[in-house]
Structure 1
Amino acid sequence: MQLHSSGVQYKLHLCLSVTLELILKILELKLMVVIMIKDWNVMDLVCTCVTTLLLVLICLLLYFISVYPENCGSYHGPHSINCLITIWEEVGCKIKGLRYPGVLTNADANTLKIMNLRNVKANMESVKSAADGGNADQQLNCYGIAIPNTCDSHNGPHSVECLTSIWESKGCLSEGTKAPVKLNTAEKEALALLNLE
């Protein structure tokens, strides 16, 4: 993540200084009111004010500081292909995926480029979620391969059954010396931790 905004440090310092000063003034007012009125119900009001000020601080921080993914310069776009690729990778999809931003048609890429960052991320997360849920088309879109039914996910660890399905789908025979069922424990564990790529 990168911070993108001119004078971010100055704005943050100013925002924190003003908010701290306001909180101190309210606490000072609270003490004066309690001393003068000796009414603890007023403290409830003051606590509400302090809470409100803290919420204002959060809003100010969100307003003055915009945190975007690497290679993304704005929330609303248009976004660069590098920005879209960063989000794609953060979501967990792979370069080999058919919907990888670097291989999209201009029309498909332009559709993503004009979305706001939240919608871009939601779009890509939905592809990954459907892929992880077993949708073979979305597995191709996200990972570039269809995950065999015997495998739980693209990422390991993988069962011997999963590894055997992959072995056989590549045309290898169960009689082969490196067939998953014939591997020793260390070899199986090492292989099981690999992605399905």
Structure 2
Amino acid sequence: MEADNGDTDKALECYGVVYPENCDSFNGPHAIDCLITIWKEVGCKVKGLRYPGNLTTADVNALKNMDIRDVRSNMEGVKSAADGGNDDHQLNCYGIAFLENCDTYLGPHSVECLTTIWESKGCLVEGTKAPDKLDSAEKEALDLINLE
């Protein structure tokens, strides 16, 4: 009962999990803020199509009524599929489909990925700041930026 009433220590003893911030039960129903916290913890972004605040009432209610492990597993599955190259899940998790040669939302980004972005913006490889002409400090700075 104490675990179900939000006691973090008792939740760890009873369920083997610590409730994420804004979550106060194992089995639900979970508040939308709880779902959003888990979404952000797994690394997906607000712009993602499956961001809890963007879901239909039916979809959010389904998540609200899962146990906390299943909610996290569901969201981790979306992120894993996105990072594995699934275009639909890239949209679901990040709100952007990765360009050709780009394998991650966050860096490091390959020179091929940066070149694809460079050319998609109308720049030419002959440009003095083309990705293959960057010095290591300039390349490292780009690696700290997400694909957007």
Aligned to 1:164: 115
Q: Is the 8 A contact 1:5 1:66 kept in 2?
A: no
Instruction: Identify the match of residue 147 of structure 1 among 98, 101, 104.
Output: 98
Query: CA separation in 2, counterparts of 1:90 and 1:149?
Result: 27
Q: Is it true that 1:4 corresponds to 2:10 in the alignment? A: no
How far residue 61 of structure 1 moved from its aligned partner, in angstroms, is 6.3
Aligned to 1:196: 147
Q: 1:170 to 1:97 in 2, by over 3 A?
A: farther
Instruction: Identify the match of residue 81 of structure 1 among 32, 42, 52.
Output: 32
Q: Is the 8 A contact 1:75 1:116 kept in 2?
A: yes
Query: CA separation in 1, counterparts of 2:113 and 2:16?
Result: 46
Instruction: Identify the match of residue 86 of structure 2 among 112, 130, 135.
Output: 135
Query: CA separation in 2, counterparts of 1:77 and 1:120?
Result: 10
Instruction: Identify the match of residue 55 of structure 2 among 90, 104, 108.
Output: 104
Q: Is the 8 A contact 2:15 2:26 kept in 1?
A: no
Q: Is it true that 1:179 corresponds to 2:145 in the alignment? A: no
Query: CA separation in 2, counterparts of 1:193 and 1:160?
Result: 14
Q: Secondary structure at the match of 2:61?
A: helix
Q: 1:102 to 1:176 in 2, by over 3 A?
A: farther
How far residue 171 of structure 1 moved from its aligned partner, in angstroms, is 3.6
Query: CA separation in 1, counterparts of 2:93 and 2:133?
Result: 31
Gaps of 5+ in 1: 13-59
Identity %: 68
Q: Is the 8 A contact 1:5 1:65 kept in 2?
A: no
From the two aligned structures, give the one with the greater helix fraction: 1
Q: Is the 8 A contact 2:12 2:18 kept in 1?
A: no
Aligned to 1:17: none
How far residue 67 of structure 1 moved from its aligned partner, in angstroms, is 2.3
Q: Is the 8 A contact 2:50 2:93 kept in 1?
A: yes
The correspondence of residues 9-158 of structure 1 with structure 2, limited to 5 A, is 62-63=13-14, 67-158=18-109
TM-score (norm 2): 0.84
The number of aligned residues is: 144
CA RMSD, aligned part only? 2.5
Query: CA separation in 2, counterparts of 1:127 and 1:80?
Result: 20
Q: Secondary structure at the match of 1:68?
A: coil
Query: CA separation in 2, counterparts of 1:64 and 1:117?
Result: 10
Larger Rg computed on CA atoms: 1
How far residue 66 of structure 1 moved from its aligned partner, in angstroms, is 6.3
How far residue 160 of structure 1 moved from its aligned partner, in angstroms, is 1.1
Gaps of 5+ in 2: none
Q: 1:165 to 1:78 in 2, by over 3 A?
A: same
TM-score (norm 1): 0.65
